[in-house]
Structure 1
Amino acid sequence: MSRGEGAGMLTESLMALAAAGGTAVVQAAGTEAWGSVRGGVVRMFRRRPDQEDAVDRDLHRTALLHASDDAEATSRQVSLWEEHFSALLGDEDDRVRQPAEAELRRLVSLVPGVADRYPELNIHGNTYNKSPTQHGNYNHQEINYGSDE
């Protein structure tokens, strides 16, 4: 599977997670969090041996990037990691996708402020079994999803 493949099947929450992951990896470079973030990324891609060399090379490039003030290069690295993570989160194999999602959420939480920039991370496949009804006026809206009877 190529890097961008599978990304079309991602939910809004998973797309935000991939974007947050890209931001987290780049922001972690050169900080105390780098060792943990780097190790987590390596663990995530162990189940994708075809990607390990590219991921290792990209981790090295990201580590070097922290010394520069090149906003364009930083943006490219964030996009690159977002593509890596989108491909992983779009994998059809639950044994790859589910641990990757859990690990990526953990990595994002290691880099202060990243999760706050992606409110979609708090949406988790809401499902309602009842049809909603909406009542209200200009000052107040009430949405009900039926009784629990």
Structure 2
Amino acid sequence: MLDETLIALAGAAGTAVATAAGTDVWASVRERLAGILGRGGGEDAEHALARSDRTVAALGGAEGADGERRRRLEGVWQERFESLLEPLAADDRIEVASQLRELIALTQSAGGVTAGDGGISIGGNVDIRADGGSVSAVRMGTVNIGNPPHPGVE
């Protein structure tokens, strides 16, 4: 049984894989996946690469990926990482956990901030302020500033 920390790590790694699929960093992520999932080498590594390629194909590239498909793949990859970690001895778990953290860091260092249709992606801090009766937001619809009409008067 995995503790909460390893489950969270597997989830973060699953998100990293699904997020990196089809991006500029994908080739590097793909190689890392082969190393992590193909710990025995040979066929295991080839199987891991084929699996990762199916991830990219399922998403249709980063631009065509809708949120639902991406979330499903995040879950699939989380389960794969949990299945990998669960039977391992403590020392091997530590090694694989370290490799998963490196995989996550690789995807984060690429600055791959993306958003789906209608979404907003921000790759840093955002500070939004409104002073003196003004209105401020990252995105907003119609805004009317002023006193509202009296009730019942049109």
Q: With structure 1 as the length reference, what TM-score do the two structures score?
A: 0.60
Whichever structure has more strand as a proportion of its residues is: 1
1:112 aligned counterpart, secondary structure: helix
Question: How many Å apart are 1:37 and its aligned residue?
Answer: 1.3
Query: Aligned AA for 1:46?
Result: G
Describe the shift of the 1:95–1:12 C-alpha distance in structure 2 as closer, same or farther (beyond 3 A): closer
Query: Would you say 1:13 and 2:5 are equivalent positions?
Result: yes
Counterpart-to-counterpart distance in 1, 2:85 and 2:11: 11
How big is the shift at 1:108? Answer: 0.5
* Aligned twin of 2:101: 105
Q: Is the Cα–Cα contact under 8 Å of residues 38 and 46 in structure 2 kept in the other structure? A: no
Deviation at 1:94, TM superposition (A): 4.3
Aligned to 1:37: 29
Residues 1:84 and 2:80 aligned together: yes
Q: Note if contact 1:24-1:111 (Cα within 8 Å) is conserved in structure 2.
A: yes
Alignment of 1:1-149 (within 5 A): 9-48=1-40, 52=45, 54-64=47-57, 65=59, 66-67=61-62, 68-94=64-90, 96-112=92-108
Which structure is higher in RCO with an 8 Å CA cutoff and minimum separation 6?
1
Q: Tell me, which stretches of 5 or more residues in structure 2 are unaligned? A: 112-154
Deviates more, 1:74-83 or 1:57-66: 57-66
**Alpha-carbon shift at residue 54 of structure 1 (Å):** 4.8
Contact 1:44 1:99 in 2 (8 A): no
Cα distance, 1:57 vs structure 2: 3.0
State the superposition RMSD in angstroms: 2.5
Q: Which runs of 5+ in 1 are unaligned?
A: 1-8, 115-149
Structure-2 change in CA distance of 1:96 and 1:53 (3 Å):
farther
Give the paired residue count.
106
Question: Looking at CA atoms only, which structure, 1 or 2, has the larger radius of gyration?
Answer: 2
Q: Name the % identity.
A: 36
> How far apart are residue 91 of structure 1 and its match?
2.2
Q: Offset of 1:72 from its aligned partner?
A: 2.1
Match of 1:36, SS state, is: helix
